[in-house]
Amino acid sequence: MGLKTDPKSKRLLLIFTRNPELGKCKTRLAAKIGDQAALDVYVFLLEHTRKITSPLNATKQVYYSEEIAQDDLWSSDKYEKKQQVGEDLGLRMQNAFAEGFAEGYKHILIIGSDMYDLNTSDLEGAFNALEKNEVVLGPAEDGGYYLLGLSRMHDALFQNKQWGTETVLEDSLADLKDTSYFLLEVKNDVDYYEDIKDIAVFKPFLTHLNE
């Protein structure tokens, strides 16, 4: 079990991650920059995610896509490790939230691991917003969302969505017509070459491209 920094906080952060394997992560990015460079970018993003989540006063659980890795950057003294369960992203998130609420947590956030635009204060702000709202959403520029926070279950949010498309945020907001929710700042996640080509920190990963 991971270290619960302050069990009284009742705050839980879920981090959904893909196992970093060559040819199996960031495939849309890899189409432009190649499998190895895409893997290197993803490992860099994983490290960024660890860096911004580590200081949070919350229980942190890493949910792996394929299998739980024991000796990796997610130290087991700070992060509990679990396996994603479900046939699609919606079911996997729904199951993770349900388990968190069953464990007694009152405010639960979920993020992915491909957000260079995200920082610790954003996550603190999202937890604070959950004190006064049932749902918090972080809109992504591509029409999806990079963060979801719940203070109680809303099963509709995980159902009847075309995951990975530009309608996810719009469809999610439609589920919340009678619910108090808060929208965070719009941010950009990393899926395509265009998402990173003008950001200085990613330049070392792109030196092999001849443009």
DSSP letters, 11-50, are: EEEEEEE----TTTSSHHHHHHH-HHHHHHHHHHHHHHHH
Q: What is the pLDDT of residue 164?
A: 81
Burial of 87 (0-12, 13-18, 19+ CB in 10 A): exposed
Token couple for 71: 């000796």
Q: What is the pLDDT of residue 73?
A: 93
List of domains in the chain: 9-205 (3.90.550.10)
Phi, then psi, of 16 in degrees rounded to 5 = -90, 130
Q: CA angle, corner 46, sides to 17 and 145, nearest 5? A: 60
For the cut 50, the answer to whether the pLDDT of residue 151 exceeds it is: yes
Give the H/E segment covering residue 107: strand 107-111
> Binning pLDDT at 50, 70 and 90, where does residue 2 land?
very low
| Residues 116-130 pLDDT 10s | 999 999 999 999 999
Mean pLDDT to the nearest integer, 28-41: 95
| Residues 68-110 pLDDT 10s | 998 899 999 999 999 999 999 999 999 999 999 999 999 999 9
> Binning pLDDT at 50, 70 and 90, where does residue 211 land?
low
